[in-house]
Amino acid sequence: MPLEMMTTARPIRLLVITMLYEPDCVGIAAIASDMCNALAARGHHLTVYTTYPYYPEWRTKRNANVWKIEREVANNVQIHRHGLFIPHRPTRLLARILHELSFPLSLMRSLFRREQFDGVMVFCPLLGSVVFAVTRKLLRREPLWVNIQDLPAEAGLASGINKFRSLHRLIAFAQRSLFRRGEVWSSISPEMVDQLQPLRGKNNSLHLLPNWLVGPLQRHVRQMPSKVGRPPHRPPRLVYCGTIGNKQGLLTFCQKMKDFSQFDFRFEIFGDGSEAPDVRRWLEQEGDDRIRMGGLLPDDQFIRKIHDADWFVICEKQGAGSSFLPSKLIPCVSVGTPVLAISDRT
Domain identity same for 286 and 151:
no
Domain identity same for 204 and 219:
no
Domain identity same for 151 and 45:
yes
Q: 15-19, 67-71, 158-162: which has the highest mean pLDDT?
A: 15-19
Domain identity same for 106 and 163:
yes
Domain identity same for 227 and 88:
no
Domain identity same for 252 and 108:
no
Mean pLDDT confidence for 273-295: 94
Range of the domain at 174: 3-208
pLDDT band at 248 (very low <50, low <70, confident <90, very high): confident
Q: What is the pLDDT of residue 3?
A: 47
**Residue 344 reports pLDDT greater than 80:** no
Domain identity same for 126 and 224:
no
Query: Tens digits of per-residue pLDDT, 311-325?
Result: 999 988 776 655 555
Q: What is the pLDDT of residue 193?
A: 94
Look at residues 13, 12, 32 and name the one whose alpha carbon lies nearest to residue 22: 32
CATH number for position 336: 3.40.50.2000
Domain identity same for 69 and 192:
yes
Is 115 or 178 the better-scoring residue by pLDDT?
Answer: 178
User: Whole-angstrom Cα distance, residue 93 to residue 112?
Assistant: 31
Domain identity same for 167 and 275:
no
Q: How many domains does the chain have?
A: 2
Domain identity same for 170 and 300:
no
Domain identity same for 59 and 137:
yes
Look at residues 345, 341, 318, 325 and name the one whose alpha carbon lies nearest to residue 157: 318
Q: What is the pLDDT of residue 325?
A: 58
Helix (H, G, I), strand (E, B) or coil at 238: strand
| Percent of the chain topping pLDDT 70 | 94
Look at residues 208, 242, 260 and tell me which one is the last residue of a structural domain: 208
Helix axes 165-179, 152-159, angle to 10 degrees: 160
User: Whole-angstrom Cα distance, residue 301 to residue 87?
Assistant: 30
Look at residues 147, 173, 208 and tell me which one is the last residue of a structural domain: 208
User: Whole-angstrom Cα distance, residue 153 to residue 162?
Assistant: 9
Q: What is the pLDDT of residue 174?
A: 95
Query: Tens digits of per-residue pLDDT, 57-103?
Result: 999 988 878 788 999 999 999 999 999 999 998 989 999 999 999 99
Q: What is the pLDDT of residue 2?
A: 44
Helix axes 276-286, 250-259, angle to 10 degrees: 20
Helix (H, G, I), strand (E, B) or coil at 14: strand
